[in-house]
Copies of this chain bind each other. A is one copy, B any other.
Amino acid sequence: MELRKLGEFGLIEKIARIAGGGFSEVIAGIGDDAAVLRISTKKCLLITTDTLIEGIHFQSSYTTPFLLGKKSIAVNLSDIAAMGGTPFCFVASLSIPPHASYKFIHHLYQGMISGARAFGASLVGGDTTRCPKRLVITITMLGMMQPDRVIYRHGARPGDGIYVTGFIGDAALGLALIKQRKKSARFRSLIEKQINPIPRIREGTTISRMRLASSMIDISDGLLGDLRHIIKQSHTGARIWLNRLPLSPLYQQHWRDGARRRYELALSGGDDYELLFTVPPDRQQRITVLQRACGIPITCIGEITEQKGRITVLDDQNKEITCRQEGFTHF
């Protein structure tokens, strides 16, 4: 079998099957934003790992070492946020190419440490290796929380509303602008969203504490791609209304009304690191409380349906539209 045919998520499913079960401490292993491990009756540990590779996930030319370090932490914190957890500590494994200076590495670590410290997590260890070509950063982040407050991907039920935090598509548009070398001050907030994303830890822990969500995931590979994980693991379907997508004023300015690509990045672009979560009807009136607590937009963009495995996207006229691509995938 070829890896390319199997795809990233096919490979993960295969690995999960080899990994097997039988370990009583493992509440949830492979297949969610973070693994969940029982360590006492009142506490569980969350563990997640993410790698950033130079030339694939980032180009050193369009960020700074400090922001690169900070982002490598943010993408991991985002996985902890998606479970509703509180960050605890992290280890960093670096493969450092010969051309990297000590100054570069110093600022990289400062970015990591500062990005983690803002959410209460500390650097506790790691590994550094000389690598011939590219900078590779692997972070493993641990979080803690009460076992009964963990929010998984598999809890969505037909009728639940689908919500997202913040704005969608800005990070992907920011990346497109960087590639087009349109780095003017006007677009700064879009580019900022790409190179300096803020993990939604506060929002995640609040959603968990309020017992608001039936399922949750972070939007890292694109809205539709990540929503697919929710409906797959919840054995449901989903309906999304295009005109409800929370698009930032700058994002809206960029695309003419009716531009074909207007919704493309919002639906399929990656790197937003916003939270997507589902809320049962009887809890939806508490969304305003969440919104006040967080101070960022919380938007209902659709609903969970019974049509297993099917995502329907409806336009202004309630007509179904076809999406070419759902999200980013390796292989």
Contact = CB atoms under 8 A, between A and B. Distances in A.
Contacts of A331: 96, 130
Interface string A55-93: 111000000000000000000000000000000110111
Nearest to A116: B19
A18 B138 CA distance: 19
Interface in A89-106: 89, 91-93, 95-96, 100-103, 105-106
B1 A49 contact: no
Given A102-B2, A105-B11, A43 B39 contact: yes
A183 to B, nearest CB: 27
A76 to B, nearest CB: 10
Nearest to A114: B18
A95 B57 CA distance: 12
A134 B55 CA distance: 14
A101 to B, nearest CB: 7
Nearest to A50: B127
Interface string A117-151: 00000111111111111101010101010000000
A12 interface: yes
Contacts of A294: none
Interface residues on A, range: 35 or more
Nearest to A144: B39
A37 B130 contact: no
A138 B45 contact: no
Interface in A308-323: none
A241 interface: no
Interface in A8-24: 8, 11-12, 14-15, 18-20, 22-23
Contacts of A26: 89, 122, 124
A326 to B, nearest CB: 18
Contacts of A14: 102, 106
A134 to B, nearest CB: 8
Contacts of A57: 129
A49 B125 contact: yes
B126 A89 contact: no
A87 B19 CA distance: 16
Contact of A40 (B43, B106, B128): B43
Nearest to A330: B130
Interface stretch (A27-35, A153-161, A278-286): A27-35
B23 A122 contact: yes
A6 B100 CA distance: 13
A276 to B, nearest CB: 20
B39 A39 contact: yes
Given A19-B109, A30-B125, A96-B331, 9 more contacts: A3-B100, A6-B102, A11-B102, A20-B113, A45-B45, A49-B125, A51-B129, A53-B129, A93-B138
Q: What are the 6 A-B residue pairs with the smallest beta carbon separation, nearest first?
A: A35-B124, A140-B140, A138-B138, A19-B123, A23-B122, A35-B125
16 contacts: A3-B101, A12-B128, A14-B102, A15-B123, A15-B128, A18-B106, A18-B110, A19-B122, A30-B125, A35-B91, A40-B40, A47-B91, A47-B125, A48-B125, A131-B134, A131-B136
